[in-house]
């Protein structure tokens, strides 16, 4: 938050407050945040497996490297989401929308200190990249371009992430993609030698 203040880009409190003033929109954003993340990423993997098998290994490896890099950063630099920072002016939307028991149960599968980089944005970038670049329909390519900014907006509106968390996710996905491409090239070279 201090870094964003220093850069003059700390707009999240205003976005969050505005969204709180529209309860139906906040409920929809909260539901989207919780429910879309894994199924949409899974859709990208399944779609690639069935319709673009030639790209599946690269897509799968990009997702895997993204997860490995995310967890590495979470372990090295655990960071709470804005909604859990006392006195920061954010409502705990996860608890408000879904109840305390549900919010506490999410910590079984996700650390409460895994805000930087945003895993939601990172996986949305990989998913969006898949559909935007190799989608076989115009609507699918359009979805690929629109999905990552929508996820970033939802994460900010719900108080789960800052814009810098989304920027960090972009760096992670870029690194993951480079690692996946290198692995693919190494595999091709190894296959050629066999």
Reduced to 3 states (helix: H, G, I; strand: E, B; else coil), residue 86 is coil
Torsion angles phi and psi, residue 79, rounded to 5: -135, 130
Least-confidence region, from 15-24, 57-66, 99-108, 174-183: 99-108
Are 177 and 69 in contact by the 8 Å Cβ rule? The answer is: no
User: If we measure between CA atoms, which residue out of 165, 149, 184, 171 comes closest to residue 69?
Assistant: 171
Asked whether residue 184 is assigned to any structural domain, the reply reads: yes
Q: Which residues contact 175 (CB under 8 A, 6 or more apart)?
A: 65, 69
pLDDT digits (tens, 9 = 90+) for 54-70: 999 999 999 999 999 99
Asked if the model's pLDDT at residue 9 lies above 70, the reply is yes
Tokens of 116: 């930087």
Are 148 and 125 in contact by the 8 Å Cβ rule? The answer is: yes
Are 177 and 68 in contact by the 8 Å Cβ rule? The answer is: no
Q: What is the mean pLDDT of residues 115-139?
A: 96
pLDDT at position 86, please? Answer: 86
Are 142 and 155 in contact by the 8 Å Cβ rule? The answer is: no
Asked whether residue 6 is assigned to any structural domain, the reply reads: no
Asked whether residue 57 is assigned to any structural domain, the reply reads: yes
Q: What is the mean pLDDT of residues 179-189?
A: 80
**Domain of 50?**
11-193
Asked if the model's pLDDT at residue 112 lies above 80, the reply is no
Asked if the model's pLDDT at residue 110 lies above 80, the reply is no
Number of CB atoms found within 10 A of residue 7's CB: 10
Asked whether residue 110 is assigned to any structural domain, the reply reads: yes
Number of CB atoms found within 10 A of residue 107's CB: 11
Give the model's confidence band at 1: pLDDT under 50 very low, under 70 low, under 90 confident, else very high.
Answer: confident
Asked if the model's pLDDT at residue 106 lies above 90, the reply is no
Q: What is the mean pLDDT of residues 45-49?
A: 96
pLDDT at position 10, please? Answer: 92
pLDDT at position 104, please? Answer: 59
Q: Among positive and negative, which fits the CA dihedral 50, 51, 57, 63?
A: negative
Asked if the model's pLDDT at residue 193 lies above 70, the reply is no
Asked if the model's pLDDT at residue 138 lies above 80, the reply is yes
Asked whether residue 1 is assigned to any structural domain, the reply reads: no
Asked whether residue 155 is assigned to any structural domain, the reply reads: yes
Asked if the model's pLDDT at residue 130 lies above 80, the reply is yes
Asked whether residue 143 is assigned to any structural domain, the reply reads: yes
Count the domains in the chain: 1
Reduced to 3 states (helix: H, G, I; strand: E, B; else coil), residue 194 is coil
Asked whether residue 145 is assigned to any structural domain, the reply reads: yes
Q: What is the mean pLDDT of the chain?
A: 88
End-to-end Cα distance, the chain = 53
Higher-scoring residue by pLDDT: 146, 188: 146
Give the model's confidence band at 181: pLDDT under 50 very low, under 70 low, under 90 confident, else very high.
Answer: very high
């Amino acid at each position: 938050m201090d870094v964003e203040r220093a850069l003059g880009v700390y707009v999240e409190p205003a976005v969050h407050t505005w969204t709180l003033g529209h309860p139906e929109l906040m409920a929809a954003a909260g539901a989207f945040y919780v429910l879309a993340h894994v199924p949409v990423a899974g859709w990208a993997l399944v779609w690639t497996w069935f319709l673009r098998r030639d790209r599946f290994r690269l897509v799968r490896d990009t997702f895997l490297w993204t997860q490995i890099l995310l967890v590495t950063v979470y372990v090295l630099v655990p960071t709470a989401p804005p909604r859990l920072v006392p006195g920061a002016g954010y409502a705990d939307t996860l608890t408000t929308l879904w109840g305390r028991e549900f919010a506490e149960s999410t910590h079984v599968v996700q650390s409460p200190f895994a805000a930087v980089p945003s895993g939601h944005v990172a996986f949305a970038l990989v998913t969006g990249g898949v559909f935007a670049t190799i989608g076989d329909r115009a609507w699918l390519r359009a979805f690929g371009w629109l999905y990552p900014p929508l996820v970033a907006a939802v994460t900010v509106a719900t108080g789960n992430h800052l814009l810098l968390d989304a920027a960090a996710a972009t760096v992670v996905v870029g690194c993951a993609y480079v690692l996946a491409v290198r692995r693919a090239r190494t595999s091709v070279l190894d296959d050629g030698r066999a």
